[in-house]
């Protein structure tokens, strides 16, 4: 019996496993804790995906491995390379196809809309680690050892603490409190709904023309943090948002007591400048369309995934 392996149970891993299962495919969801989607077609397995032998065992017989797992930001430089190596080893040994969830870090600073054919030109530690993960997998693909593709997203939107906007801004503005954002409040920024991210991963795994290149998740919107917050509060019927920009020096001070802010420093360029994805090819070839922003904001506020 064919099945799909999904690693991770975070903002993208949960909807990805669920969407595969809801379409009738059997899913083996692997996480360190053993938690995941509660569905009769989903088998939950607790395992360390940096263990290449164990991951190979769990992937044997799968048609595709979809990786949605990622270490905590402070551990990327140390933990992402061995995780990437184990994932690549498992698909090479088993012959499973390989779909990677990536992001825009590997491009480095870009002027204008980002297209999937941009070179990997990262200028940060996290960006270079992320880029190398893709380049190593692509080299294996080009050598004929595996079929691989990468789905890349920008800022996450959706219910729960799915990303920086949901962590820093949404709960505060909905509660009528001042919210802080690390970067330019008026810079255009592409936002990807977590269900659309999952839909793109699923579609890529089923499309013959998807392999050997990257795909951008269609953005539900590319508005600024200020406009996004205004639309969210208007929908919720609460007071207009009060927003404060966090500058680099603010993050340095905050990082002394809250290390998470320090992790934002090297990637601050992506919030201080326009950060817009071009996803025309994804929509044309993979057939994935973005969920309208008002629907996403309603679900975000209500805590509903679908």
Cα 98 to the chain's mean position, in Å?
Answer: 16
Q: Do 250 and 262 touch, CB atoms closer than 8 A?
A: no
Say if 169 falls within a structural domain.
no
> In this predicted model, what pLDDT tens digit does every residue of 136-184 receive, in sequence order?
999 999 999 999 999 999 999 998 878 889 888 999 999 999 999 999 9
Three-state secondary structure call for residue 182: strand
- Amino acid 305: pLDDT: 66
Say if 259 falls within a structural domain.
no
- Amino acid 197: pLDDT: 98
The domain of 85 spans: 4-154+194-204
- Amino acid 190: pLDDT: 98
Say if 166 falls within a structural domain.
no
Say if 240 falls within a structural domain.
no
Say if 270 falls within a structural domain.
no
Whichever domain contains 84, its CATH number is 3.40.50.720
10 Å Cβ neighbour count for 78? 10
10 Å Cβ neighbour count for 282? 26
What's the CA gap between 79 and 104, in Å, rounded? 19
Count: domains in the chain:
1
> In this predicted model, what pLDDT tens digit does every residue of 98-113 receive, in sequence order?
999 999 999 999 999 9
Say if 159 falls within a structural domain.
no
Res. 122: pLDDT tops 80:
yes
- Please give the DSSP secondary-structure letter assigned to residue 263: T
Say if 31 falls within a structural domain.
yes
Residues in the chain: 306
Q: Do 208 and 177 touch, CB atoms closer than 8 A?
A: no
109: tokens are 């600073």
- Amino acid 6: pLDDT: 98
Say if 188 falls within a structural domain.
no
Contacts 24+ apart (CB under 8 A), 172-175: 173/229, 173/232, 173/233, 173/238, 173/241, 173/242, 173/243, 174/232, 174/233, 174/236, 174/238, 174/301
Res. 304: pLDDT tops 70:
no
**Phi first, then psi: what are they for 123, rounded to 5°?**
-115, 5
Strand ranges for the chain from DSSP E = 4-7, 27-31, 42-46, 64-67, 97-103, 148-153, 155-157, 178-182, 191-193, 214-216, 242-246
> In this predicted model, what pLDDT tens digit does every residue of 234-288 receive, in sequence order?
999 999 999 999 999 999 999 999 888 898 999 999 999 999 999 999 999 999 9
> In this predicted model, what pLDDT tens digit does every residue of 183-232 receive, in sequence order?
999 999 999 999 999 999 999 999 999 999 999 999 999 999 999 999 99
> In this predicted model, what pLDDT tens digit does every residue of 64-98 receive, in sequence order?
999 999 998 889 999 999 999 999 999 999 999 99
Average pLDDT score, the chain: 95
């Amino acid at each position: 019996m064919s099945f799909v392996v999904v690693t991770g149970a975070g903002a993208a891993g949960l909807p990805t496993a669920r969407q595969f299962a809801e379409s009738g495919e059997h899913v083996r969801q692997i996480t360190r804790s053993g938690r995941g989607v509660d569905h009769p077609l989903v088998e939950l397995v607790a395992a360390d995906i940096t263990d290449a032998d164990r991951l190979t065992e769990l992937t044997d017989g799968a048609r595709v491995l979809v990786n949605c797992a990622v270490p905590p930001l402070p551990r990327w430089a140390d933990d992402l390379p061995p995780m990437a190596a184990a994932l690549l080893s498992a698909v090479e040994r088993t012959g499973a196809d390989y779909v990677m969830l990536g992001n825009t870090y590997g491009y480095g600073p870009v002027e204008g809309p980002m297209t999937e054919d941009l070179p990997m030109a990262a200028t940060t530690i996290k960006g270079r680690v992320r880029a190398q993960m893709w380049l190593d997998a692509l080299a294996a693909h080009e050598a004929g050892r595996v079929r691989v593709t990468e789905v890349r997203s920008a800022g996450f939107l959706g219910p729960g603490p799915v990303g920086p906007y949901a962590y820093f801004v949404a709960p505060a503005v909905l509660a009528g409190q001042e919210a802080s954002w690390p970067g330019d409040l008026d810079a255009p920024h592409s936002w990807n709904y977590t269900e659309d991210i999952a839909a793109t991963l699923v579609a890529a795994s089923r499309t013959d023309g998807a392999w050997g290149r990257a795909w951008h998740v269609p953005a539900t919107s590319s508005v600024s943090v200020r406009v996004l917050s205004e639309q969210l509060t208007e929908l919720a019927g609460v007071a207009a948002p009060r927003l404060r920009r966090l500058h680099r020096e603010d993050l340095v001070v905050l990082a002394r007591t809250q290390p998470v802010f320090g992790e934002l420093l090297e990637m601050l360029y992506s919030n201080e400048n326009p950060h817009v994805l071009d996803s025309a090819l994804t929509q044309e070839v993979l057939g994935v369309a973005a969920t309208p922003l008002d629907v996403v904001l309603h679900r975000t506020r209500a805590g509903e995934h679908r």
